[in-house]
Amino acid sequence: MRGVRRAARRAQRSDAEVRSSATGHPRRGGSLGALRGLRSWLAGPGVPCSSLAVVPLCLSISPSQTVVQTSMSRFQVALLGLGLLLMLLLYVGLPGPPEQTSWLWGGPNVTILAGLTPGNSPIFYREVLPLHRARRVEVVLLHGKAFNSHTWEQLGTLQLLAQRGYRAVALDLPGFGNSAPSKEANTEAGRAELLERVLRDLEVHNAVLVSPSLSGRYALPFLIQGHHQLRGFVPIAPASTQNYTQEQFWAVKLTKRGAMASEGLEGEHPSVTLFRRYLRIRTVQPEPDYGAAVAFLEERAHQLGLGCQKVEVAPGYVVTILTWPGTNPRLSSLILNSHTDVVPVFKEHWSHDPFEAFKDAEGYIYARGAQDMKCVSIQYLEAVRRLKAEGRHFPRTIHMTFVPDEEVGGHKGMELFVQRPEFRALKAGFALDEGLANPTDAFTVFYSERSPWWVRITSTGNPGHGSRFIEDTAAEKLHKVVSSILTFREKERQRLQSNPHLKAGAVTSVNLTKLEGGVAYNVVPATMSASFDFRVAPDVELKAFEEQLQGWCQAAGDGVTFDFAQKWTESRVTSTDDSDPWWAAFSGACKDMNLTLEPEIFPAATDSRYLRAVGVPALGFSPMNLTPVLLHDHDERLHEAVFLRGVDIYTRLLPALASGLAGPPRWPAKALAPGGAH
């Protein structure tokens, strides 16, 4: 508080200056601004008052006119003030409604201090200190176009806040009241910075920011950038709202709510608040708002003091990389990968809006991406934040990669990224990527994936009239192939069902997903086709499997061929042998935490396959035990306690993996296959 006292002393001079300006003797541009503001107020709405040429008119208003107009405007002032105060009081959570309006005008025993902030473009402010027991929250009052800090004094707001135990500061924005215009105010970033600097200079830490109309140009960019020292925001029709997206406002609301919660109202953990904020960004296929996600991540990088690199792998598809440099640059790095997109929703089947991140009374957070995989993205970020806050340093560099497009195959995401020089420059030694929830007490970890093979079988035969017995038709031959493949399917299904130790990823699955052909009821078509989605288990010899496919087609007759819409042949397995240093570090840290691991083959495809294909060992791990697998499902949700436990788990895992002990001593760990993704 020493700074405040100093400011108060500084204030005596400036205060005198203000008083003199109120008597109609402007000495500085700022005071002229005050008069312009006053004139505009007296003139009432609808009368333009922007030209400097009309200022003398303001000064020549006769005393009688002023009295009449002032008494009218006082009524307006009282109404406006009452409205503003009610909002403010409700927000700050003062006990009970005002009993009487007379204290709108404040008490005579409140001293209003004034001063200028230090530095090149000083900002004029008025300040009151708590009269009695001080509250933890401070109030910062901005102003609209026709006003300045003096308005808050005239209204009695400053006095009232002092009586109620608040420290309150009213600012004159640059070019208003007693603050000179500032070049800084020309840009959004400049205005945000200016406001931040002023609050810092005035040692305001727990502010509720009151921002009417024009001041939104300062307050909104300031808020959007995420300022956690704020305790609340009271917007009164702020300007510039059109410059921001709904997500950005959601984000702001959330930060504020989280901050309020830390006061003990809701008691929500800030990591959960951040998670819910990220969930509200609509990165939903087929038109994900990637821009908002990237902006969010850039903000996190800024907040955490991490390097931030953006690699546009295809037009509009940006991979964002947040980097925490290690102490030994010769070591390979640890990659923490997550995708930013989420799958579409059928809103009518959801109990809550899937992009509201609603949290129920029990603590379940409902949102698309709650499990797949925005939880993991935030867990990485929060674990890094904690470790940094503890002052930890690790030999290995940690890169958090946030990739687009995973949910539609990763063809404009990780598949392209692993081929870029920027990826090679990361010197990846080992990667963590997504896994799946586990309904039991155990945690599933995925060390490999099945290979997706999308196969179309085309059968050709004799055409003819639908009334005849045509020989060798396309349909008969296609039927044979379909039968062969569905018989194989049934065998694999039974193999899985009869062996409780076998997991879904260990067998090959297949489904008939498309049938095409024909033009009319009475025309036998010359061509028909059937499409299948195969997921080939990693222990299957792919060449032999393709020969079997060939065999089924040949057995059906002549003119039956197949082609691939997708054929993944780079099936690689990440070692889960205790002699592997990465696995030893990962499983060792899990053991230290008493986590039960269930190593499995991922039943579907993730971006891990692209990493493994270029020689980077990867484990799929989403630390969600005691949680039903709800990815891509309606009512996808995660309990906040499970989410928070995940942050704890990464906080233990990262030191183990980023230490020099894990992994091979030098990079490259293994020769990276050039290109390699096909």
User: Under the rule (CB under 5 A), what is the footprint of Zn ion?
Assistant: 372-373, 434
> Residue 359 — φ and ψ, nearest 5°?
-115, 125
Q: What is the CA radius of gyration of the chain?
A: 33
Residue with Cβ nearer Zn ion (268 or 433): 433
Cα 4 from chain centre: 37
Shortest distance, CB of residue 283 to Zn ion, whole angstroms? Answer: 12
With beta carbons less than 8 A apart as the criterion, state whether 405 and 605 touch: no
C-alpha closest to that of 403 among 568, 607, 572:
607
Find where tokens 């870029």 sit: 420
We find the least distance from the C-beta atom of residue 284 to Zn ion, in angstroms, to be 13
Residue 6 neighbours by CB under 8 Å, 6+ apart: none
| Minimum separation from the CB atom of position 433 to Zn ion (A) | 9
Nearer to Zn ion, 372 or 449 (CB): 372
Residue closer to Zn ion (CB basis): 372 or 600 = 372
- Residue at shortest CB range from Zn ion: 372
Catalytic annotation on 406?
Answer: yes
What amino acid is encoded at 628 in this protein?
A: P
Min. distance of Cβ 604 from Zn ion in angstroms? 9
Q: Cβ of residue 372: shortest distance to Zn ion, in angstroms?
A: 4
Strand 364-366 to 138-141 pairing: unpaired
228 is in an annotated binding site: no
Which C-beta is closer to Zn ion: that of 434 or that of 580? 434
Nearest to Zn ion of 247, 372 (CB atom): 372
Q: What is the spatial distance between Cα 239 and Cα 242, in angstroms, rounded to a whole number?
A: 8
| Alpha helix stretches (DSSP H) within 361-446 | 374-389, 414-417, 421-424
- Cα–Cα dist 29/55, whole Å: 12
The answer to whether 476 is a known ligand-binding residue is no
**Dihedral over Cα of 214, 220, 222, 223: its sign:** positive
Q: Known binder of ligand: residue 298? A: no
Q: Give whichever of 172 and 372 is closer to Zn ion, judged by the CB atom.
A: 372
Cα-based distances in Å from 663 to 170, 571, 645, 668: 57, 22, 26, 11
Among the listed residues 268, 406, 449, 607, the single catalytic one is 406
Under 8 Å CB-to-CB from 166, ≥6 apart: which residues? Answer: 92, 128, 130, 134, 135, 137, 138, 139
Assess contact for 55 and 39: CB atoms under 8 A: yes
Listing DSSP states for 103-122 in one string gives GGG--TTPPPEEEE-SSSS-
Q: Whose Cβ is closer to Zn ion: residue 163's or residue 448's?
A: 448
Query: Are 595 and 445 in contact, with CB atoms under 8 Å apart?
Result: no
- Give the closest residue to 560 by CA, choosing from 529, 520, 605, 593: 529
Distance CA 73, CA 64 (A): 14
Question: Among residues 108, 106, 146, 115, which one has the least CA distance to residue 16?
Answer: 115
DSSP assignment of 484-519 equals HHHHHHHHHHHHHHH-TT--GGGS-EEEEEEEEE-S
Which residue from 546, 562, 576, 534 is spatially nearest to 445, judged by alpha carbons?
A: 576
Q: Residue 648 annotated as binding?
A: no
Of the pair 271, 622, the CB lying nearest Zn ion is at: 622
Backbone angles phi, psi at 644, to 5 degrees: -65, -35
Question: Cα(241)–Cα(184) distance, rounded to whole angstroms?
Answer: 20
CB proximity list for 357: less than 8 A, separation 6 or greater: 275, 276, 277, 279, 280, 365, 366, 367, 370
The alpha carbon torsion through 482, 485, 486, 490 (nearest 10 deg) reads: 170
| Amino acid residing at 541 | E
Q: Please, what is the minimum distance in Å from the beta carbon of residue 314 to Zn ion?
A: 19
CB of 630 to Zn ion, least distance (A): 12
CA-to-CA dists, residue 9 to 2, 3, 134, 165, 262, angstroms: 11, 10, 21, 21, 35
User: Catalytic residue among 268, 341, 433, 607, which?
Assistant: 341
Q: Report residue 211 as tokens.
A: 């921002």
Q: Which is nearer to Zn ion, 159 or 337 (CB)?
A: 337
Q: Minimal distance in Å, beta carbon 338 to Zn ion?
A: 8
Count other C-beta atoms under 10 Å from residue 53's C-beta.
7
Residue 607 Cβ vs Zn ion, minimum distance, rounded to whole Å? 8
| Complex with Zn ion: residue 410 or 663, whichever CB lies closer | 410
Residue 339 annotated as lining a ligand binding site: yes
Q: For the CB of residue 424, give the shortest distance to Zn ion in the complex, in Å.
A: 25
User: How far is 547 from 484, CA to CA, in rounded Å?
Assistant: 14
Closer residue to Zn ion (CB): 199 or 373: 373
Smallest distance, Å, CB 423 to Zn ion?
Answer: 20
User: What does the DSSP 8-state code read for residue 310?
Assistant: E
- Catalytic sites, residue numbers: 341, 406
Known binding positions:
339, 372, 407, 434, 632
Known binding positions for Zn(2+):
339, 372, 407, 434, 632
